[in-house]
Structure 1
Amino acid sequence: MSSNTPNLGLLKKDPMVDGNETFNIETMLNENWDKVDEAVGKVREDLKNIDVDIPAASLTQKGIVQLSNALNSNSVTEAATPKSVNDATKYTDTKIASTRSEIETTRSEIASTRSELASTRSEIQQELSNLKINKANLNSPVFSGTPKVGSANIVTSSNIGSYVKPPDNFDGTSGERTLTVGPGKMFPTIQAAIDSLPAFRAYDVTIKPDSGTYPGFKIVNKHGGSIYIYGYETNVSISSTINISSCTSNVGINKVSISSNAIYGIEIQNCFNIGISYVTRIGGSYGIMMDNTPIVILSSCNFSNISNYAIWLRGGGTLRADSCTGSGNYAVYSVSSAILFDSSPNLTGTNRIFRSSGGQVYS
């Protein structure tokens, strides 16, 4: 008795029952092949429509992974090949061997250093054993004031104080300070403000006078921080000479006018670095006198109707005159044993320059 397969419905014959039937090519062969072919075609079509999305592998997800031969990669999405594992092993073995060699070399050096230290320690101990130390007795200078050994500088009971304290009149604070001058201000005169400063300072000082006329003043024996007389914002007149001497502090005089009454407008001696700017001196015997001061810079000053020298370089030092003006002077410069840099063509007089004792002038 004939039957059909459950999946494709192919025709089947039972040999025991249907053995005497004639073989039908159409039903028993061709139709069965057509069913097989149709089923295969359907499977192929279904396979084409299958879209499988396999994700990239990560530390938390299975998936596709890229192989890599790299030895220096930090990737966590690539897999090492046997070659890279083998290369890494060889590299590690080489580094271990090299490190072992370096360790052995270091051990050898340490052993050598220990030997040298032991030898040095032995030499020091030998020197100490040969050293004779003579302790000071009660007649030592600090007790008696009488030196027991020759020395150019011996600390005694009478001078020990000079070695354990700073100079008198010293202020070591840093920064800047401003002192005001005038009625109702910190100081009545410029001189009073200057006199308030210690001889030795670490801080800079700006002295600001109010508008008005003030007596001449002296800046003497001041060291350390700079001192500026600042008259830019006011109308300041000085009735007599400004004297600056024996100072290592930088000193600046800015925008003041000086009366013709005094012989000198500004007198500078034995200082280090002086800056004078926008100072006016009309009349008088001398405008500026400089002596034995390495650096003096005049800037935009006016000297007119000076009966002798507008600028007198009396001794050693260097003076630079920049953009100064004035007229009616007997002589603009007198240079003796000093160096002048003249950049003030508009400062004029009957005579331009007198030179003596090797004075040098550069224009």
Structure 2
Amino acid sequence: MASNTPRLNLYKKDPVADANDTFNITTMLNDNWDRIDANVVLVSEKGVANGVASLDANTKVPTSQLPSASTSAAGIVQLNDTVTSTSTTQAATANAVKQVYDAIVSHSAETIDSAHGIKTTSDITLYVDAVNGNDSNPGTQSQPLKTIGAAVSKIKNLVIEHTVTIQLAPGTYTENILIKNLIGSGSFYLKGASDLAGASSYTINGFVSFSGCTCLVFIQGIKVLGTSSFSSAIDFSRCLAGRVYYCKIDRSGTNATTNSYGINIGANSFVFVVNCDISNVTASGIGAAISVFETSRLYSSDNTGSGNSIGLRASAGTIMKNGTQPSGAAAESTNRGGVIR
């Protein structure tokens, strides 16, 4: 009896059982030819656009006939074993992924959260040299940075659990320094000389501002000139523990017009000022060598200075004094419940 072939479904007769059947041109001939024509691949259709792939000598489809993958289309992709590639058409190997994984795991104990960054694991010293430095340098003693701001940018995301120091070389640094949100149980130093006599060799022609710091922050052995565009030469705001040692402040020519301060402590800060010289702080409004306000506390010990409008000023804050203090036209001034004792 009649049957169909398994692959192309061609219709065929049994030469014995169907020997007496009438030959049907449509079913026995035309329909079969149509099926063959629909399934055959011409040589001219191999390896061309909208055709079919041809096989190479190894019975494999050549890569030249396969589409490349992209971020918007599927296709073949080359493997890449590096962890620094920026390619969008290559895929990372398992080994490259493992390298990244291992690096993350090695720092996992140090990660605090996305806002705070990485804990220090040892003491850090960054060196800055206004004359011989370069901000593309790593900040080592042999390859110092040029600006203090560049050094500050390298530590701004650290959780300081050790001693972090920015060590200046002698010179003049014409920049304003903003040190914000340093946290941790360690200490930060912005350091020049080791005594008051040497401070003039390390000059910042601008202001230094500390804000939002919870670790112990020091500025030591530096002469700070201030700028007429900012009220304070050295400023602390919302800092739990600040220290100003062996610093000189001379605001001759840099006083702000309305209110001007040598060292200004505010917004619930607690700061020691010891062995400093603060001079020539004057203004049409308030001109104070050392000022404390907004419930802040300050310990002032063995400080000197002259030519100031006011030596010590406490406005809604407390100054605890010991030894000598900067002099002024008025030695002391208090208001809004401020205390000097």
Q: Per the shorter chain, which TM-score range? A: 0.5 to 0.7
Counterpart check, 1:333 vs 2:333: no
Which of 239, 256, 264 matches 2:222? 256
Which of 298, 320, 333 matches 1:354? 333
Distance 1:317 1:199 in 2: 26
Partner AA of 2:117 in structure 1: F
Which of 178, 201, 213 matches 2:160? 201
Shift of 1:186: 3.1
Counterpart check, 1:321 vs 2:281: no
Which of 200, 209, 223 matches 1:243? 209
Distance 1:268 1:175 in 2: 26
Spell out structure 1 runs of 4+ moving beyond 4 A.
none
1:268/1:293 contact within 8 Å kept: no
1:265/1:286 contact within 8 Å kept: yes
Shift of 1:221: 1.1
Distance 1:337 1:205 in 2: 33
Shift of 1:201: 3.1
Residue range with higher mean Cα deviation, 184-193 or 271-280:
184-193
> What secondary structure sits across from 2:312 in the alignment?
strand
Structure-2 residue corresponding to 1:167: 113
Shift of 1:314: 2.1
Distance 2:210 2:167 in 1: 18
**1:20-39 alpha-carbon deviations (Å, 9 max, x no partner):** xxxxxxxxxxxxxxxxxxxx
Ranked by relative contact order (alpha carbons within 8 Å, sequence separation 6 or more), the top structure is 2
Counterpart check, 1:265 vs 2:233: yes
Give the structure-1-normalised TM-score. Answer: 0.52
Structure-1 residue corresponding to 2:30: none
Shift of 1:218: 0.8
1:312/1:334 contact within 8 Å kept: yes
Partner AA of 1:261 in structure 2: T
> What secondary structure sits across from 1:354 in the alignment?
strand
Structure-2 residue corresponding to 1:286: 261
Shift of 1:174: 2.6
Shift of 1:190: 1.1
Any residues of structure 2 matched to 1:67-86 within 5 Å, and which? Answer: none
Distance 1:201 1:167 in 2: 14
Distance 1:342 1:203 in 2: 30
Instruction: Structure 1 unaligned segments of length 5 or more: list them.
Output: 1-164
2:268/2:296 contact within 8 Å kept: yes
> What secondary structure sits across from 1:326 in the alignment?
coil
Shift of 1:294: 4.0
Structure-2 residue corresponding to 1:305: 280
Residue range with higher mean Cα deviation, 201-210 or 270-279:
201-210
> What secondary structure sits across from 2:334 in the alignment?
strand
2:112/2:118 contact within 8 Å kept: no
Distance 2:243 2:274 in 1: 8
**1:274-297 alpha-carbon deviations (Å, 9 max, x no partner):** 000111111233101110244200
Distance 1:245 1:265 in 2: 14
Q: Percent identity?
A: 26
Residue range with higher mean Cα deviation, 236-245 or 340-349:
340-349
Residues paired across the two proteins, number: 198
1:288/1:310 contact within 8 Å kept: yes
Distance 2:324 2:166 in 1: 32
Distance 2:122 2:128 in 1: 20
> What secondary structure sits across from 2:306 in the alignment?
strand
Distance 2:172 2:165 in 1: 18
Shift of 1:202: 2.5
The structure with more radius of gyration: 1
**1:121-161 alpha-carbon deviations (Å, 9 max, x no partner):** xxxxxxxxxxxxxxxxxxxxxxxxxxxxxxxxxxxxxxxxx
Shift of 1:199: 4.1
Shift of 1:327: 1.1
